[in-house]
Structure 1
Amino acid sequence: MLQTAERALHVVRLVASRGEMTLTEVAGALQVSPSMAHRLLRTCAEAGYLDQELRHGPYTVGPVLRQVTADVTRGSTLPALLGGVLRQVAEGLLETTSLAVLEGRNIRFVLTEEGTHLVRIARPVRTVTPAHATAAGRAMLAGLSDDDLASRYQGRDLETVQPGTIQDWSQLEAELTKVRNRDWAIQVGEAQPGVAALAMPIRDGFGQTVAAVTVTVPYLRLSRSEDARSLARRLRPYADQMERRLASGSAR
């Protein structure tokens, strides 16, 4: 099993480095039989890491590998593009604010600016967290197509992070509908006890959600619906500024 997995990864690296490869070329490069090469290529293609437009044509990079590449690039370039605005958020709202990206069913915080409020939340304890349990994650999940969302949660099983974390699929769908309608997400104590957060999706120049900006506060400061609406109004100009920067970058 391990050897097969290593060979499959080798196939992906080969095709990615050369742009395209035929079955015969892969068999020769790996020094395996054509039947073994075919099984490896089909496995990679079915998983979306490779693609084959014509039945007997060469294999090329697939959509999943392109997405992985985009995610990695985004995670490294977004802080440079949006870091300045994120500092403005922390300074203007006095609260700890973070930039997060979506990785499969999880979010990853790629940059955090700590607030200066007397009582504040420090940097996120967990760099990677299940998306459905966080405001940032819901803000980004709400921007996915139905097919993309279903592919990430094929069993519709949701990890329990805290006792109050959403665990029912229909409840998550209802929450994502709310996020789409108001264009911001909130969670209270679902990722970490005593901590609440409000997040907004950040879209690029093509309208695709590529990140989320989130403000993390002690839960008492987001215990009422009017508190959330007020924070959302204050965060909106910064989110808009981030999107303008991304749109400008996409145009270049």
Structure 2
Amino acid sequence: MTLQTADRALRLVRLVASRGEMTLTEAAGALQISASMAHRLLRTCAEAGYLDQELRHGPYTIGPALRQITADVARGSTLPGLLGGVLRQVAEGMLETTSLAVLEGRNIRFILTEEGTHLVRIARPVRTVTPAHATAAGRALLAGLTDDDLAARYQGAALETVQPGTIQDWAQLKAEIKKVRNRGWAIQVGEAQPGVAALAMPLRDGFGQTVAAVTVMVPYLRLSRSDDARSLAHRLRPYADQMERRLASGSAR
């Protein structure tokens, strides 16, 4: 796809989103292109899920992929208000720095952090956006995808080396995600930031969809044994359950 074609496709999606629907003739006129070229653009956008056409020869409307993007953006802005109170409880109750993260492509974004009060504690994340495969929160979020979605997301992509110990092999990442699904939490030790370990749990909404992850960050010496991880997960679980109840209800209580 050329730059000009990509620009036209983006303009087309924006036009359909703003108008609600658009016919082939309207699209060709709005972009001042031929009907055949407009048809190719519309079909390309529809195949990618950004537009939809319920009836053959009928108008085009916004598609499921665009609706999902809109929902993801809205969720990123509402989650802090919905879960922020509980996140503060985590930091106060566990004395450790804790964050909420959401998935963005192959990365995660930390959308809210509460710093712990432990004498030796981790400060706020150095990188707001971090490769998902290198973080506990990212693996918790990736575990919520289907195998097909996971494969499509990483198809042909190299796994970035954030630290020397970061997972770099696709088979290893799949194996790690399988562990997360089985035990209900993810862990990383020094893979995203030297000396920092983290444990994270996925947070599901009322429809069972993983929409965020809550993660607790500690100095790696406090999470160096399997017993340490199980103990931390046991302490975090009630808070994660409380967050999921809020997600299910859709409003803070």
Same fold? TM cut 0.5: yes
Unaligned runs of 5+ in 1: none
Over the aligned positions, Cα root-mean-square deviation in angstroms equals 1.2
Offset at 1:139?
0.4
Asked if 1:132 corresponds to 2:133, the answer is yes
The answer to whether the Cα contact below 8 Å between 1:199 and 1:212 also exists between their aligned partners in 2 is yes
Task: Find the residue that maps to 2:137 and give its secondary structure.
Answer: helix
Displacement of 1:57: 2.3
Deviation at 1:174, TM superposition (A): 0.8
Map of 1:141 onto structure 2: 142
- TM-score, with length taken from structure 2: 0.95
Unaligned runs of 5+ in 2: none
Match of 2:166 in 1: 165
Q: Distance in 1 between matches of 2:68 and 2:107?
A: 15
Partner of 1:84: 85
Q: Which residue does the alignment assign to 1:39? A: 40
Question: Counterpart in 2 of 1:48?
Answer: 49
Q: Provide the residue aligned with 1:18 in structure 2.
A: 19
Give, in angstroms, the shift of residue 170 of structure 1: 1.0
Map Cα deviations across residues 96-139 of structure 1 (whole Å, 9 max, x no partner).
Answer: 00000011111000000000111111100101111111000100
Distance of 2:201 and 2:243 partners within structure 1 = 11
CA–CA separation in structure 1 for the residues paired with 2:97 and 2:239: 14
Trace 1:1-252 onto structure 2 (pairs within 5 A): 1-155=2-156, 157-249=158-250
Moved more, 83-92 or 164-173: 164-173
Secondary structure at the counterpart of residue 20 of structure 1: coil
CA distance in 1, matches of 2:205, 2:181: 17
CA distance in 2, matches of 1:120, 1:68: 35
Write out per-residue CA displacement over residues 132-158 of structure 1, whole angstroms, 9 at most, x where no aligned residue: 110001001111111211221112531
Matched residues, number: 250
d(CA) in 1 for partners of 2:182 and 2:69?
A: 29
TM-score (norm 1): 0.96
% identical equivalent positions: 89
- Post-superposition offset of 1:55: 3.4
Does structure 2 retain, via aligned residues, the 8 Å contact 1:156–1:169? no
Deviations 1:54-96 (A, max 9, x none): 3322212122211111110010000000000000000001000
Provide the rounded CA distance (Å) in 2 between the counterparts of 1:130 and 1:47. Answer: 24
Query: How far, CA to CA, are the matches of 1:54 and 1:134 in structure 2?
Result: 44
CA distance in 2, matches of 1:150, 1:50: 23
Name which of structure 1's ranges 3-12 and 94-103 shifts more when overlaid on structure 2. Answer: 3-12
Distance in 2, Cα, partners of 1:140 & 1:182: 14
- SS of the equivalent of 1:214 reads strand
Distance in 1, matches of 2:60 and 2:155, equals: 27
Note if contact 1:200-1:214 (Cα within 8 Å) is conserved in structure 2: yes
Q: CA deviation at 1:3?
A: 2.7
After TM superposition, give the deviation of residue 13 of structure 1 in Å: 0.6
Partners of 1:158 and 1:232 lie apart in 2 by 27
Which consecutive aligned stretches of 4+ in structure 1 deviate over 3 angstroms post-superposition? none
